[in-house]
Amino acid sequence: MNPMASIAETSLKGKDLLTLADWKADEINQILKYALQLKKENQPKQLLAGKTLGMIFEKSSTRTRVSFEVGMLQLGGHALHLSSRDIQMGRGESIADTAKVLSRYLDAIMIRTFNHEIVEELALHADIPVINGLTDDYHPCQVLADLMTILEYKSSFAGKKLAYIGDGNNIAHSLMIGSAKVGLDCTIVTPENYEPKAEIVSKAQEIAKASGAKILVTTDLEKGIQNADIVYTDVWASMGWEDEANERLKAFKEYQVNSKTLSVAKSDYIFMHCLPAHRGEEVTGEIIDGTHSVVFDEAENRLHVQKALLASVL
């Protein structure tokens, strides 16, 4: 038996992933190590034979959908796609009843939705692990893949600085919390009025006291990117904010990641983006398609992290 698999099963079996704030630093690091091991081995394993993951999608997806479904298949299990049109939760059945019914059929639930309270209520009433595939406030699975990618390229988190430029959205929130947990310095750079939620900033800074990480929020682009080892951006108008796209284009126009803004980052910086990307808006094609970009390794790592997570909680 794979020793990492037995360790993960012992300590994480049955655990929900709603936000990274709920997980201990050693649990996060364990998932990252397991994911790196699975990627290196690159072989299907029948760890989850006979297990079924239900995937509830109220928001569309490419990477989340494919990585979870392929991950379950490679682990010997099955994934069931459930859109809001397919289940009664989208037509008035209570979240509590949905959670109780699905717990009788499935071994785990992954949900990608809008309000974070939906995920919390689903987990409260489910008897099986619930994984947050994305909410308006958090995207923990993406940030696990981000942390894995940083480990691959930078070997450790200690003494490294991540600069995130863009909207104070779910990615910014989860990057702050994930960084705080593992001891990675994280600076969030946003235009005025687009900062991350104050209560989540405070939570991340409190968590960081244990790891020694520095969690900062600024509107000063040059200061934020100064000496960064990792530079990260996201679209300026996330799903649900498309009606503000024109307004946001004006507000964010000075916050584009390009060769000029990156001139103050470390010479060996890596560029990250959770995708999909809008070239010419938040980042230039020169940067996202350039030699410093690791965005497709980052996207691939969604698969390996999801496999490690599923094998561990199941």
Task: For residue 186, say whether it is annotated as part of any ligand binding site.
Answer: no
| Extended strands (E) in 84-210 | 108-112, 130-134, 161-165, 185-189
Task: For residue 279, say whether it is annotated as part of any ligand binding site.
Answer: no
Task: For residue 306, say whether it is annotated as part of any ligand binding site.
Answer: no
Catalytic residue among 74, 142, 256, 306: 142
Task: For residue 312, say whether it is annotated as part of any ligand binding site.
Answer: no
Task: For residue 63, say whether it is annotated as part of any ligand binding site.
Answer: yes
Task: For residue 103, say whether it is annotated as part of any ligand binding site.
Answer: no
How many whole angstroms separate alpha carbon 2 and alpha carbon 213? 32
Catalytic residue among 146, 302, 304, 306: 302
Task: For residue 174, say whether it is annotated as part of any ligand binding site.
Answer: no
Task: For residue 62, say whether it is annotated as part of any ligand binding site.
Answer: yes
Task: For residue 275, say whether it is annotated as part of any ligand binding site.
Answer: yes
Task: For residue 142, say whether it is annotated as part of any ligand binding site.
Answer: yes
Neighbour count for residue 251 (Cβ, 10 Å):
17
- Of 71, 194, 79, 81, residue with least CA distance to 144: 71
Q: Indicate if the alpha-carbon torsion angle 221, 223, 226, 231 is positive or negative.
A: negative
Our answer to whether residue 112 is catalytic in this structure is yes
Task: For residue 187, say whether it is annotated as part of any ligand binding site.
Answer: no
Catalytic residue among 16, 74, 107, 112: 112
Our answer to whether residue 142 is catalytic in this structure is yes
Catalytic residue among 139, 248, 273, 304: 139
Q: State the DSSP string of 137-167.
A: S--HHHHHHHHHHHHHHHS-STT-EEEEES-
Q: Which amino acid is residue 217, in one-letter code?
A: V
Task: For residue 141, say whether it is annotated as part of any ligand binding site.
Answer: yes
Q: State the DSSP string of 261-310.
A: GGGGS-TT-EEEE-S---BTTTB-HHHHTSTTB-HHHHHHHHHHHHHHHH
Type and span of the H or E element at 116 = helix 116-125
Task: For residue 302, say whether it is annotated as part of any ligand binding site.
Answer: yes
Catalytic residue among 136, 186, 248, 274: 274
**Sheet of 185-189: strands edge to edge?**
215-218, 185-189, 161-165, 230-233, 270-273
Catalytic residue among 16, 136, 185, 234: 234
Our answer to whether residue 104 is catalytic in this structure is no
Q: Strand, helix or coil at 233?
A: strand
Our answer to whether residue 234 is catalytic in this structure is yes
Task: For residue 190, say whether it is annotated as part of any ligand binding site.
Answer: no
Write the DSSP symbol of residue 217. Answer: E
Our answer to whether residue 97 is catalytic in this structure is no
Binding site feature residues for carbamoyl phosphate = 61-64, 88, 112, 139-142, 274-275, 302
Binding site feature residues for L-ornithine = 170, 234, 238-239
Binding site feature residues = 61-64, 88, 112, 139-142, 170, 234, 238-239, 274-275, 302
User: Catalytic residue positions?
Assistant: 112, 139, 142, 234, 274, 302
